[in-house]
Amino acid sequence: MTTVEFSPAAEPLAAKLLEPALEILARYPAGRERSALLPLLHLVQTEEGFVSPNGVAFCAELLGINKAQVGAVATFYTMYKRRPTGEYLVSVCTNTLCNVMGGQEVYDQLSEHLGVGHDETTADGRITLEHAECLAACDYAPVVTVNYDFTVDQATPESAVELVENLRKGERPTPARGARICSLREMQYQLAGFADPRDGAVADGVAGAPTLRGVRLAQEHGVTVAGFDPDTPITKTKPRVTEEKK
């Protein structure tokens, strides 16, 4: 695997990405390296900002598959962008619940304000806008994410515009529940399966009130589940055989 001869199209990316790419491959059993394709495509986006033709070539050559096979995968998933992206990807959930809670207005306002439509990037290269499908945060509806981190909860057109204005000014506002903002390309590195290299980023973001609503209510009212004994024995019918492992 390490002795792949890259074509001129793939070579420049290989020079930069081969080392992390091989780390990705090692996560999967020998002979099953194709599993690395999704993380590899994320990895390509760290350098290219999108899945570029050269990125397709790099993945295909590394995995020993055809470019059509890589293309088939790269065109299937929403998070693989096929045109250059901005520094930040701003996603507004406009799926039904967020939509009726105001997400559509938020998106429309942002689109008008930024002068770009879905999957388009502002001329200054700062922001790519998209309307997203359900982001699994309906209790905070409507939500806006920056590079997929939850940044504005219960968004309004005004709070969303403020967000993008700050981003365009070069500021990085503190997200509501995600880690401190990085660039979209840096985020792709994490999507490729690598730990967030920023000190303390993993500690960022505290649980919001809706998340804790039920459990707080129980705490406030002293409601617990009775009868929990961590030493409750497990019925043993067979001896524990160590040889069986492996």
Partner 1 sequence: MTDVSKRVDTVKLVIDGVEVTAEKGELVIRVAERMGIAIPRFCDHPLLAPAGACRQCLVEVEGQRKPVASCTQTVAEGMVVKTQLSSPVAAKAQAGVMELLLINHPLDCPTCDKGGECPLQNQAMSTGRADSRFVEEKREYQKPIHISSQVLLDRERCVLCQRCTRFSEEIAGDKFIDLMDRSSGEQINVYRDDFFGGDGTGDGEVGDGAGDVPFNSYFSGNTIQICPVGALTGEQYRFRARPFDLVSTPSACEHCASGCSQRTDHRRGKVLRRLAGDDPAVNEEWNCDKGRWGFRYATATDRIMTPLVRDAATGELREAAWSEALLIAAEGLKAARERGVGVLPGGRLTVEDAYAYAKFTRTVLGSNDIDFRARPVRATGSSTAITEEADFLAANVAGGTGVTYEDVENAPSVLIVGLEPEEEAPILFLRLRKGHRRGNLKITAVSSYLSRGLEKLGAALVAAVPGDEAHLLGTDPAVAAALSAPGSLLIVGERLATVPGGLSAAAALADRSGARLAWVPRRAGDRGAIDAGCLPNLLPGGRPVTDPAARAELSLAWKVEPGVLPGTAGRDVDRIIAAAADGTLGALLVGGVDPADLTDPRLAEEALDAVPFLVSLEMRQSAVTRRADVVLPIAPAVEKAGTYMDWESRLRSFGAVLKSTAMTDGRVLEAIAALLDVTLNTGDVMAIRRELGALPGSTAPNPAQPAAEAARPAQPAGDEAVLATWHQLIDLGSLLDGDQVLAGTARPPVARIGKDLAESLGVGDGDLVTVSTVRGTVTLPAAITDLPPRVVWLPTNSPGSTVRRSLGVTAGAVVKLSAGVPGPILAEGAVQ
Partner 2 sequence: MTQPRPEVLQKLTPVLTKRWLSPDAWRIGVYERLDGYLALRKALDVHPDDLIQLVKDSGLRGRGGAGFPTGLKWGFIPQGDGKPHYLVINADEGEPGTCKDLPLMTYDPHSLVEGAIIASYAIRANRAYIYIRGEAVHAARRLRNAVQEAYAKGYLGKNILGSGFDLDLVVHSGAGAYICGEETALLDSLEGFRGQPRLRPPFPAIAGLYASPTVVNNVGTIASVPYIVLGGADWWKSMGTEKSAGPMIYSLSGRITNPGQYECGLGITLRELIELAGGMKPGHNLKFWTPGGSSTPILTAEHIDTPMDFEGVSAAGSILGTTAMQIFSDQDCPVYNTWRWLEFYHHESCGKCTPCREGNYWMVRTYRRILAGQGTYKDLDTLQDTADNIFGRSFCGLGDGAATPVVSTLKWFRQDYLDYIEGRTAPRLSEKSLVGAH
Sites of contact with partner 1 (CB under 8 A): 5, 7, 9, 50-57, 65-72, 74-76, 82-84
Q: Which is nearer to partner 2, 1 or 217 (CB)?
A: 217
CA distances (Å), 30 to each of 25, 33, 34, 63, in order? 9, 7, 10, 12
Residue 101 has a CB neighbour count (10 Å cut-off) of 18
Shortest Cβ 241–partner 2 spacing (Å): 7
Residue 52, interface with partner 2 (CB under 8 A)? Answer: no
SS3 102: helix
Q: Which is nearer to partner 1, 45 or 151 (CB)?
A: 45
Segment contacting partner 2 by CB under 8 A, of 8-16, 121-129, 162-170, 200-208: 200-208
Which of the listed partners (partner 1, partner 2, none) does 128 bind, with a CB threshold of 5 to 8 Å by partner kind? none
Say if CB 164 and CB 147 are below 8 A apart: no
In single-letter form, the type of residue at position 158 comes to E
Shortest Cβ 51–partner 1 spacing (Å): 6
Segment contacting partner 2 by CB under 8 A, of 12-20, 108-116, 164-172, 238-246: 238-246
Distance CA 13, CA 45 (A): 11
Residue 72, interface with partner 2 (CB under 8 A)? Answer: yes
Say if CB 124 and CB 168 are below 8 A apart: yes
Residue 234, interface with partner 2 (CB under 8 A)? Answer: yes
Distance CA 186, CA 170 (A): 16
